[in-house]
Structure 1
Amino acid sequence: MRILVVLSFYAPHWTGLTKYAQRAAEGWAALGDQVTVVCSQHDRTSARDKHLNGVRVVRCPTLLPISRAVVAPGFVPTIARLIPLHDVVIIHTPLPEACLVGWLCQRKHVPYTCVHHGDVVLPNGLRNRLYTSLMHQSALHAFAHADALCTHSTDYADHSQWLAPVRWRVRVITPPVTIVPSQSAGAREVYGIPADAFVVGIGGRMVHEKGFDRVFVHLEALKRLFPTLLLLHVGALQMPYEPSPDTPYGAFRSFGLLRDDAAMAAFFACCDVVLLPSRSDCFPSFAVEALRCGVPILVHDTPGLRSIVWQADAGRVIDSTDWHALQHALATLPSRPDPVQMARVFDPLASIATLRAVLQQTVAARTPAPATQAVVTRHLANEVDMAYRRRAQMLVHYLELNDAQVVLDCGCGQGVYVQLLRSLTQATVVGVDCDRQRLSEALPQPVLMADMAALPFAPATFDR
Structure 2
Amino acid sequence: MLDDDTPLRLLIVTDAWHPQVNGVVRTLSTVAKVLRAQGDAVEVIGPDRFRTLPLPSYPEIRLALWPRRALARMVDGFAPSAVHIATEGPLGWAMRALCRRRGWRFTTSLHTKFPDYLHARTGLPPRFAWAILRRFHAAGDGTFAATRSLREELTLRGFTRIRPWTRGVDLTQFNGAGRDEWAGLPRPVFLHVGRVAVEKNIEAFLALDLPGSKVVVGDGPQRAALERRFPAAHFAGWRQGEALARAYAGADVLVFPSRTDTFGLVMLEAMACGTPVAAFPVMGPLDVIPGSGAGVVDADLRAAALAALACDRAAARAHAERYSWAACATGFRRQLAPLATA
Q: What's the TM-score once normalised by structure 2's chain length?
A: 0.84
Which of 215, 231, 242 aligns to 1:232? It is 215
> Closer, same or farther in 2 for the Cα pair 1:351/1:296, shift >3 Å?
same
- Please tell me whether the aligned partners of residues 272 and 295 of structure 1 are also in contact (alpha carbons under 8 angstroms): yes
CA distance in 2, matches of 1:125, 1:338: 35
**Matched residue, 2:230:** 248
* Corresponding letter in the other structure for 2:307: A
CA distance in 2, matches of 1:137, 1:245: 37
CA distance in 2, matches of 1:249, 1:71: 33
Tell whether 2:72 aligns with 1:80.
Answer: yes
CA distance in 1, matches of 2:317, 2:62: 40
**Matched residue, 1:439:** none
What SS is found at the alignment partner of 1:200?
A: strand
- Please tell me whether the aligned partners of residues 218 and 239 of structure 2 are also in contact (alpha carbons under 8 angstroms): yes
- Please tell me whether the aligned partners of residues 16 and 47 of structure 2 are also in contact (alpha carbons under 8 angstroms): yes
Give the number of the structure with larger relative contact order, counting CA–CA contacts within 8 Å between residues 6 or more apart: 2
Which of 329, 338, 341 aligns to 1:363? It is 338
Q: Within 5 Å, give how 1:23-422 maps onto structure 2.
A: 23-41=30-48, 59-67=49-57, 70-84=62-76, 85-120=79-114, 121-122=116-117, 129=124, 136-160=130-154, 164-166=157-159, 168-180=160-172, 181-182=174-175, 184=177, 187-188=180-181, 192-194=183-185, 197-219=187-209, 222=210, 226=211, 229-238=212-221, 246-250=228-232, 252-260=233-241, 262-310=242-290, 312=292, 314-320=294-300, 325-326=303-304, 329=307, 333-338=310-315, 341-359=318-336, 362-363=337-338, 366=340, 368=342
> Closer, same or farther in 2 for the Cα pair 1:258/1:30, shift >3 Å?
same
Q: Within 5 Å, give how 1:432-451 maps onto structure 2.
A: none
Q: Deviations over 1:132-184 (max 9, x none)?
A: 788645432221111121111011222359x7211x42112112321434465
- Please tell me whether the aligned partners of residues 147 and 284 of structure 2 are also in contact (alpha carbons under 8 angstroms): yes
Structure 1: 5+ residue stretches without partners: 42-58, 369-464
Q: Deviations over 1:77-122 (max 9, x none)?
A: 2322334521111111242453442221122132211011021133
What SS is found at the alignment partner of 2:328?
A: helix
Shift, 1:185, TM fit: 5.0
> Closer, same or farther in 2 for the Cα pair 1:124/1:280, shift >3 Å?
closer
Shift, 1:341, TM fit: 2.7
* Corresponding letter in the other structure for 1:173: W
CA distance in 2, matches of 1:239, 1:35: 35
* Corresponding letter in the other structure for 2:325: P
Identity %: 21
* Corresponding letter in the other structure for 2:265: S
- Please tell me whether the aligned partners of residues 182 and 265 of structure 1 are also in contact (alpha carbons under 8 angstroms): yes
Shift, 1:282, TM fit: 0.8
- Using the TM superposition, name which of 174-183 and 343-352 deviates more: 174-183
> Closer, same or farther in 2 for the Cα pair 1:237/1:39, shift >3 Å?
closer
> Closer, same or farther in 2 for the Cα pair 1:36/1:138, shift >3 Å?
farther
What SS is found at the alignment partner of 2:52?
A: coil
Compute the RMSD of aligned alpha carbons. 3.1
Instruction: Figure out how many residues of one structure are paired with residues of the other and give that number.
Output: 329
Shift, 1:346, TM fit: 0.6
CA distance in 1, matches of 2:21, 2:81: 28
- Please tell me whether the aligned partners of residues 65 and 90 of structure 2 are also in contact (alpha carbons under 8 angstroms): no
> Closer, same or farther in 2 for the Cα pair 1:185/1:295, shift >3 Å?
closer
Shift, 1:64, TM fit: 4.0
> Closer, same or farther in 2 for the Cα pair 1:127/1:270, shift >3 Å?
closer
CA distance in 2, matches of 1:157, 1:22: 23
Which structure's CA Rg is the greater one? 1
CA distance in 1, matches of 2:247, 2:338: 42
* Corresponding letter in the other structure for 2:319: M
CA distance in 2, matches of 1:328, 1:312: 17
Q: What's the TM-score once normalised by structure 1's chain length?
A: 0.63
CA distance in 2, matches of 1:2, 1:310: 38
What SS is found at the alignment partner of 1:103?
A: helix
- Please tell me whether the aligned partners of residues 4 and 88 of structure 1 are also in contact (alpha carbons under 8 angstroms): yes
CA distance in 2, matches of 1:280, 1:348: 23
Q: Deviations over 1:15-36 (max 9, x none)?
A: 1111111111111111121211
> Closer, same or farther in 2 for the Cα pair 1:125/1:297, shift >3 Å?
closer
- Please tell me whether the aligned partners of residues 67 and 94 of structure 2 are also in contact (alpha carbons under 8 angstroms): no
> Closer, same or farther in 2 for the Cα pair 1:340/1:147, shift >3 Å?
same
> Closer, same or farther in 2 for the Cα pair 1:74/1:26, shift >3 Å?
farther
Q: Within 5 Å, give how 1:4-19 maps onto structure 2.
A: 4-19=11-26
What SS is found at the alignment partner of 2:237?
A: coil
